[in-house]
A and B are shown apart, each in its own frame.
Chain A
Amino acid sequence: MEAFLAALVSVAFHGAAYGMILYVISVGLSVTMGLMGFVNLAHGVFAMAGGYVLTTGMNRYGVPYPLALAAAFALVAAGSVVLERLLYSRLYAAGELSQVLFTIGLMFIAVAIARLLFGTVQQPVFLPEYLKGQFGLAGRDFPVFRVFLIVFSALMVATLWFGVERTRWGAMVRAAVDNGPMAQAIGIDTRRLFTFTFALGSGLAGLGGALGAEILTVQPTYPFEHLVYFLIVVSVGGLGSLRGPFFAALLIGVTDTACKYWVPQFGAFFIYVATVVVLLWRPAGLFGLKR
């Protein structure tokens, strides 16, 4: 019984850390898809880029960990603005097929570039001393790094939610998600809003990729491997919603960890089945806007 309880706590804890990472990466996808109706399959590219910024900065240039995290956010956000202005913005009005093809093309390009620059090996993450070791709580030990992941992500999520619910920018974003043309008609510069929100979402993905570089290993096939999970988080949670993907991400993080712990012979089978069931039950996701 004690062993089972220990396993339960451990699974819940690691699952929560994993779910937090998934959420930080995917929340930008939810907003960009909900806001612009753009099917961006290349979102994983930004997360991968964040991971590479972190590992390269730390391993090659000796940048301290916090600074490397900040750099992952800033560089990825900046890069995404260039992409959005040059390429994405041309396809907002195009059909779904064009957007799917275009973003798959971006994924192929990103995978090739990553392989050229970094080779096919996984990038190791060397954590600073203060994030190693164990953290004792209620007679149990938790890895400090996972605790840091959960707390840090939770703080960021809180900031983000506050920003969207309580600030002027957040109100404009919510208005544009609900009714784009009407938001434009009352004088909101949706174009600039798009660019800014896209950059923020991509930057968060980069940050998530950097934070989770240990959980989701950084290697060139990253965008392909994890794409399904990011998409599941967004579609199960509901497009354009902030809350939905959060619960979806936690649910998936914990379920996935539990499945890998207790029934590894089934792999991710249950996750996919659950996704199909949820989407058939509620096609717009658990918290999606009904349109």
Chain B
Amino acid sequence: MIRQASYGAAARIGWLEWLPWVVALGAFFLLPEYLPFGARILVYILFALSLDLILGYAGIVTLGHTAFFGLGAYVAGILAAKVGVTDPLVQMVAAAAAAAVLGVVTGAVILRTKGLTLLMLTLAITSILLEVANKATSLTGGFDGLAGVTVAPILGHFRFDLFGKTAYLYCLVALFAGWWIVRRIIYSPFGASLVGIRENVVRMHAIGSPAYRRMVAAYAISATIAGCAGALLTQISQFVGINVFSFESAGELLVMLVLGGVGRIYGAFVGPLVYMIAQDQLAKQFPEYWYFGIGLLLVLVVMFARGGLLGLVDRLVAWVKGPHR
């Protein structure tokens, strides 16, 4: 049975948890022609992972996580194209800092609300950023997107090559770091308190847990990781499109995470992988049916498979093992 990550479960990294990294490295050597695409998948895995931390663990339902992703993407892009800061790590740090600040500020304000109001606030904040990106054309390129992003070699040595080898490994390292941080958080008492907040916030108050501060902290951490993912996307595609802020991207991100399984770390790995490969194969040939398909998929997952793909695997394993586990 695939372990659902949570506090109290053995925190040692199990052998199955190395599988994604083996697969990712294997893909690097075996599928060299797909590396640019692979790098994009890694970026979205990191993005979905950040969402899983607040949605899956802390139970904060947000439609505005693209705000941080988009902000990171634009900060990195503007630094590269308008300011002339081409060092990728500096761009990354700046993007992370910007997203962190936005995360703390908006989180501190909006997490006092819940339900539809919270949903609406996350949506409104993203819409504000979308309007800014759309109208501040001299800085962001407006509706046409921000082109002319130049990225210097990483640490002055590793140039972003045409085949995407550097980009792939760079994203893989970033994802590994993000995964390690998220995993540490989830297996910590702090992570346990997040799950407690998700399950019953009143009881968390009753046992004296500072629920609000914990949520803001988780929100800010998640925002920071999402900002890093956005910066990665800018660096590997050398372009920022305005649709990073669109409602559709927020929807797609949710689909990816839910497809893999919410609140179990590795759902964020499986979902984007399956989703983006399917999109790559199908979306160009059947654009109409593609949207129909992901819509139907969402409905089916909600109706019949709340745990996503990994939830199905769990059930299959339980069924094979029989009643005595």
Q: Per-residue CB proximity of A222-240 to B under 8 Å, as 1/0? A: 0010011001101100010
User: A98 near B125 (CB under 8 angstroms)?
Assistant: no
User: B113 near A279 (CB under 8 angstroms)?
Assistant: yes
Provide the bound-state CA to CA distance between A268 and B124, in Å.
Answer: 11
Give the residue name and chain of the A residue nearest to B246 (CB): A224
Q: Tell me if B163 counts as interface (CB < 8 A to partner A).
A: no
Contact flag A97-B61 (CB < 8 Å), given A102-B302, A228-B127, A235-B120: yes
Q: Per-residue CB proximity of A93-130 to B under 8 Å, as 1/0? A: 01011101110111111111101100000000000000
Q: Tell me if B188 counts as interface (CB < 8 A to partner A).
A: no
User: A109 near B295 (CB under 8 angstroms)?
Assistant: yes
Q: Chain A at the B interface: mostly helix, strand, loop or mixed?
A: helix
**Distance between A35 CB and nearest chain B CB, rounded to angstroms:** 13
Q: Tell me if B17 counts as interface (CB < 8 A to partner A).
A: no
Most buried by B among A90, A98, A113, A279: A279
Residues in chain A near residue B144, CB distance under 8 A: none
Q: Tell me if A155 counts as interface (CB < 8 A to partner B).
A: no
Provide the bound-state CA to CA distance between A86 and B207, in Å.
Answer: 42
Q: Tell me if A169 counts as interface (CB < 8 A to partner B).
A: no
Of A87, A110, A227, the contact of B247 (CB 8 Å cutoff): A227
**Distance between A240 CB and nearest chain B CB, rounded to angstroms:** 11
User: B248 near A224 (CB under 8 angstroms)?
Assistant: yes
Provide the bound-state CA to CA distance between A150 and B103, in Å.
Answer: 42
Give the residue name and chain of the B residue nearest to A231 (CB): B120
Provide the bound-state CA to CA distance between A109 and B300, in Å.
Answer: 12
Give the residue name and chain of the A residue nearest to B56 (CB): A97
Contact flag A33-B132 (CB < 8 Å), given A105-B298, A268-B127: no
Contact flag A98-B306 (CB < 8 Å), given A108-B251, A108-B294, A266-B135: yes
User: A106 near B299 (CB under 8 angstroms)?
Assistant: yes
Chain B 114-162 residues near chain A, CB threshold 8 A: 115-117, 119-121, 123-125, 127-128, 131-132, 134-135
User: A224 near B247 (CB under 8 angstroms)?
Assistant: yes
Provide the bound-state CA to CA distance between A268 and B134, in Å.
Answer: 11
User: B131 near A280 (CB under 8 angstroms)?
Assistant: no
Q: Tell me if B180 counts as interface (CB < 8 A to partner A).
A: no
Contact flag A276-B121 (CB < 8 Å), given A97-B55, A115-B291: yes
Q: Tell me if B112 counts as interface (CB < 8 A to partner A).
A: yes
Give the residue name and chain of the B residue nearest to A236 (CB): B120
Q: Tell me if A185 counts as interface (CB < 8 A to partner B).
A: no
Q: Tell me if A269 counts as interface (CB < 8 A to partner B).
A: yes
Contact flag A87-B131 (CB < 8 Å), given A111-B291, A224-B248, A227-B247: no
Residues in chain B near residue A100, CB distance under 8 A: 61, 63, 119, 254
User: B295 near A235 (CB under 8 angstroms)?
Assistant: no
Q: Tell me if A39 counts as interface (CB < 8 A to partner B).
A: yes
Give the residue name and chain of the B residue nearest to A221 (CB): B248
Q: Chain B at the A interface: mostly helix, strand, loop or mixed?
A: helix
**Distance between B260 CB and nearest chain A CB, rounded to angstroms:** 13
Chain B 225-277 residues near chain A, CB threshold 8 A: 246-248, 251, 254-255, 258, 262
Residues in chain A near residue B94, CB distance under 8 A: none
Residues in chain B near residue A239, CB distance under 8 A: 116
Q: Tell me if B29 counts as interface (CB < 8 A to partner A).
A: no
User: B254 near A104 (CB under 8 angstroms)?
Assistant: yes
Q: Per-residue CB proximity of A248-265 to B under 8 Å, as 1/0? A: 000000000000000001
Contact flag A112-B120 (CB < 8 Å), given A98-B306, A102-B302: no
Residues in chain A near residue B110, CB distance under 8 A: 280
Residues in chain B near residue A56, CB distance under 8 A: none
Q: Tell me if A186 counts as interface (CB < 8 A to partner B).
A: no
Q: Tell me if A283 counts as interface (CB < 8 A to partner B).
A: yes
Residues in chain A near residue B124, CB distance under 8 A: 228, 232, 272, 275-276, 279
**Distance between B209 CB and nearest chain A CB, rounded to angstroms:** 21
User: A104 near B116 (CB under 8 angstroms)?
Assistant: no
User: B302 near A98 (CB under 8 angstroms)?
Assistant: yes
Of A91, A101, A269, A275, the contact of B254 (CB 8 Å cutoff): A101
Provide the bound-state CA to CA distance between A23 and B245, in Å.
Answer: 27
Provide the bound-state CA to CA distance between A284 and B117, in Å.
Answer: 7
Task: Please list 5 pairs of residues, one from A and one from B, whose beta carbons are closer than 8 Å in the complex, sorted by A's number.
Answer: A102-B299, A105-B302, A272-B131, A276-B124, A280-B110
Besides A90-B303, A235-B116, 19 more A-B contacts (Cβ < 8 Å) are A39-B115, A97-B262, A104-B251, A105-B299, A106-B295, A106-B299, A108-B294, A108-B298, A109-B292, A111-B291, A112-B292, A112-B295, A231-B120, A232-B124, A269-B128, A269-B132, A273-B128, A280-B113, A280-B121
